[in-house]
Structure 1
Amino acid sequence: MPIRWDVREHLSLGWFVVRWLLMIAPVAVLIGSSVAFFLWLLAEATQTRWAHPELVFGLPLAGIFIVWCYHSMGSTAGGGNNLVMEQIHQPGAGIPKRMMPLVLFATVITHLFGGSAGREGTAVQMGGSIAQVFSRPFRLSEEDTRILLTCGVAAGFGAVFGTPLAGAIFALEVLAVGKMRYEALIPCLMASVLGDLVCTAWGIGHTQYQIVAPELHIDAAVAHVSLVLAAKVMLASILFGLAGFLFAEITHALSGLFKKYVTRYWLRPVIGAVVVLGISFLLGTRDYLGLGVGSASGDGISIVNAFSGVGVTPWSWWWKLLLTAITLSSGFKGGEVTPLFFVGATLGAALAGVLGVPVDLLAGIGFIAVFAGATNTPLACTLMGVELFGAQYLEYFAIACFLSYLFSGHSSIYLSQQIAAPKGGVFRYRGVDTLKSARDARRFWWHRQSHDE
């Protein structure tokens, strides 16, 4: 049978790659440079706060300034990551240009004065905002606008964590539960890789983590699965998924309570700051403030130290979860992902002794698994584990991320995620369009059940 080759098809595919590379290159360069500037500012803010610990007492005033800026100048920028996702689902008014500078400096101020927050949300919003600027001069169709905005998310995520492959898959996977849109796969990969390369070219480094686990005596490139260890990882992964669920639900619940009972918008961050500082004072440590990657003393509670178990208590994960939820729900700005890394790593370290698993292995697994559960991105988080820790424990990464994703239920830190395929075939969520609708439906079902009883 003769080969039937339509050369026009492959020419068209080649033009697709070239066209998107030409469009994405300037976008990724700007996003990578912006993320590099943001990470530099964030590091300076953290070092300044450690050198001048009295700055934390300015957290209430910093909160007032942040919410005033968003109230007076923010327009729709306050929608944050959910706004970016909504514009990808259905392009409309677009992402305002002011989102980028607002979220950048608001996040830096939050960290300078000790708010417990992350950095991923800032990078994603910066990426979406910069990508939106290019949609008009490129004269893109609605479908191409969706792809470009998704590329902005990929470039921002890949650059901020130094994980370009995970960044590309995250941008595709985070949009809908149970479905990925492959038409943006190549553009997102190019954007994420370029964004990370540009960020690194500015001299910005990323924290290096390592899983050694010498107790397991594994020297293969990819470890063979031990049924006993896999069972222990599965048990821990259920808890990781529940932790992701708890983080998302507490954050959303507190945000609703602040809006309902504190009618003066400027008072919400004041109350949040006082509660965060009060809890820190009662705990006798400031290690839960700020990003949490490292600690001021070097041997305090942090993500880095979780891999050796230094300073970690059985409840370290809970205090970081609670303080971050209060910080973000009261009006401060920043991401949720790095605090989720903290929650997962410290929870894994706490469980390691109970389950008889090497502490660095379970801390690393918890690091990615809680994130997978809270964002419904198990594939991206599995790949992130490989990019951060190596492929040696790939199977365990996958087991943990997939189970955590399942047991986090129909919840997420991003309520604009669409439900393409309900988890576990749960019938009640069929026909529910977004996780926000699912959350509202759960409240209705609960009230109806309580009334029936």
Structure 2
Amino acid sequence: MQQFFNTQTATLRFIFKWTLLAIPLALLTGSLVALFLWSLDEVTKVRYQHTWLLYLLPLGGILIYFLYKKLGKNSEKGNNLILDEIHTPGGGIPKRMAPLVLATTLITHLFGGSAGREGTAVQMGGSVAAWLGRVFRLEQKDVSIMLMCGIAAGFGAVFGTPITGAIFALEVLIIGTLTFHAMIPCLVASFLADVVCAAWGIHHTKYSISSHDFQPIASYLHVDVWLLLKVIVAGACFGLTSRLFAVLTYQIKLQSNKLIPIPWLIPAIGGCIVIGFCFALGTTDYTGLGVSGPHENSVNIVNAFHAGGADTWSWLWKLLFTAITLGMGFKGGEVTPLFFMGAALGNTLAILFGTPVDLMAGLGFIAVFAGATNTPLACTIMGVELFGGEYLVYYALACFNAYIFSGKMGIYSSQRSTSGKIL
């Protein structure tokens, strides 16, 4: 009886302690994410109004290079630095990471680089968490939990998906393994950061999947067998797309560093390549974030949920634009472009398979992300938070199938793996 009482008392102390620690982390991270999202909207509006800014993308790349060279130190590693610090503490995460990644991501988007926002939010959360760990003089094991909370807070706030943020922070560390020791702290930090971000008046894009009448296998299992088979095939396609993006981004970074002897020329040439692709395609739809566009008929994530909202190869063009942008030195996240690739590919597959466009676009939205980050459970929950739970079975099937088919390589090189994905 005494042992039971001691266990419950320790549990209550743990919850109370981490709730108190999560409050300042959530206040700071949620506010920084709100500032970032507001700033990102503003620079995107400026770019839409002044299309000539695209021609300054090479100069923006050079500016980013010198900012990191002069101020960055180990901040250059980005999300991987946070994962490394959780796995093997000691290197430290500099306070400068947060303002530096914020500024350089805005530069990327102002001039038309194809990048996302999750990396920026996660790095700001990690930087704040590391700083608070030093302020509160936490033990090393607590610093690791604090960093997980920073990841959860940044991710949950930037997408408005707090449950996903908490699960992502735990699942992203080790491929195929999910430990729950930090679940409660991560949930508290993610929820509070999302509340703080929303309190600043930030609104996230709303996505929806309509209700569709499918022929169920049985009265107690409301899924369509033919649709299940199509989702299995689509999941494999989503996973292969994730793998293509990860491999191509890595190879572009590797080869550009080998072939271009002057480091600051790498982002400059990358910017020129992006400009060249825009001219060749006759559109700037694949630059920037890609959630919405400068005109009603732009190819973007929102429009991909509707028939005719994406071209057959839109997903591939976004993949190329993003791999070049990030592989050649520009800053920003990968996740929102992955959403774009998945939704656009889902749009194409829906037409090919004769399935509802919004459903297949939604599945691609979460599944390509699942394959690239090796976080199928978090992405399944993201589907519920973004689209509702009606199609949960399809979310899970698409995400876990994409995870399997994406292979060993993901977008985070510091992820660890204890075993293969199948055996």
Q: What TM-score does the superposition give when structure 1 sets the normalisation length?
A: 0.91
Partner of 1:109: 107
Partner of 2:142: 144
Take 1:412 and 1:262, find their aligned partners in 2: how far apart are those partners? 25
Q: CA offset at residue 226 of structure 1? A: 1.2
The residue type equivalent to 1:301 in the other structure is: V
Take 1:356 and 1:373, find their aligned partners in 2: how far apart are those partners? 24
Find the residue that maps to 1:423 and give its secondary structure. coil
The residue type equivalent to 1:375 in the other structure is: T
State yes or no: 1:260 paired with 2:262: no
Take 1:214 and 1:282, find their aligned partners in 2: how far apart are those partners? 39
Partner of 1:193: 191
Asked whether the equivalents of residues 255 and 329 of structure 1 are also in contact (C-alpha less than 8 Å), the reply is: yes
State yes or no: 1:334 paired with 2:357: no
**Are the structure 2 counterparts of residues 46 and 256 from structure 1 closer, same or farther at C-alpha, using a change threshold of 3 Å?**
same
Q: CA offset at residue 4 of structure 1? A: 7.6
Asked whether the equivalents of residues 179 and 421 of structure 1 are also in contact (C-alpha less than 8 Å), the reply is: no
Please, which of 240, 243, 246 is the counterpart of residue 245 of structure 1? 243
Deviations 1:80-111 (A, max 9, x none): 01111000111112111111001001001100
Partner of 2:166: 168
Take 2:179 and 2:83, find their aligned partners in 1: how far apart are those partners? 14
Take 2:213 and 2:365, find their aligned partners in 1: how far apart are those partners? 20
Find the residue that maps to 1:73 and give its secondary structure. helix
Take 1:26 and 1:419, find their aligned partners in 2: how far apart are those partners? 32
Partner of 2:57: 59
Q: Which runs of 5+ in 2 are unaligned?
A: none
Take 1:263 and 1:72, find their aligned partners in 2: how far apart are those partners? 19
Deviations 1:29-79 (A, max 9, x none): 100000000000000011110011111111111110011100111000001
Take 2:307 and 2:278, find their aligned partners in 1: how far apart are those partners? 21
Q: CA offset at residue 296 of structure 1? A: 0.3
Take 2:292 and 2:211, find their aligned partners in 1: how far apart are those partners? 21
Q: CA offset at residue 136 of structure 1? A: 1.6
The residue type equivalent to 1:391 in the other structure is: G
Partner of 1:20: 18
The residue type equivalent to 2:70 in the other structure is: S
Asked whether the equivalents of residues 287 and 302 of structure 1 are also in contact (C-alpha less than 8 Å), the reply is: yes
The residue type equivalent to 2:9 in the other structure is: L
The residue type equivalent to 1:91 in the other structure is: P
Q: What TM-score does the superposition give when structure 2 sets the normalisation length?
A: 0.97
Asked whether the equivalents of residues 122 and 334 of structure 1 are also in contact (C-alpha less than 8 Å), the reply is: yes
Take 1:407 and 1:257, find their aligned partners in 2: how far apart are those partners? 25
Q: CA offset at residue 182 of structure 1? A: 1.0
Question: Which deviates more from structure 2 when the two are superposed, residues 4-13 or residues 26-35?
Answer: 4-13
Q: CA offset at residue 213 of structure 1? A: 4.7
Partner of 2:403: 405
The residue type equivalent to 2:412 in the other structure is: Y
Take 1:192 and 1:312, find their aligned partners in 2: how far apart are those partners? 33
The residue type equivalent to 2:78 in the other structure is: G
State yes or no: 1:227 paired with 2:254: no
Partner of 1:384: 382
Q: Which runs of 5+ in 1 are unaligned?
A: 426-453
Deviations 1:156-214 (A, max 9, x none): 00000000000000000000101112110100000000010000000000000010154
Take 1:237 and 1:309, find their aligned partners in 2: how far apart are those partners? 20
Partner of 1:79: 77
State yes or no: 1:296 paired with 2:325: no
Partner of 2:319: 321
Take 2:276 and 2:346, find their aligned partners in 1: how far apart are those partners? 27
Please, which of 36, 41, 46 is the counterpart of residue 39 of structure 2? 41
The residue type equivalent to 1:58 in the other structure is: L
The residue type equivalent to 2:132 in the other structure is: F
Q: Tell me how large the CA RMSD over aligned residues is.
A: 1.3
Partner of 1:8: 6
Take 1:162 and 1:299, find their aligned partners in 2: how far apart are those partners? 26
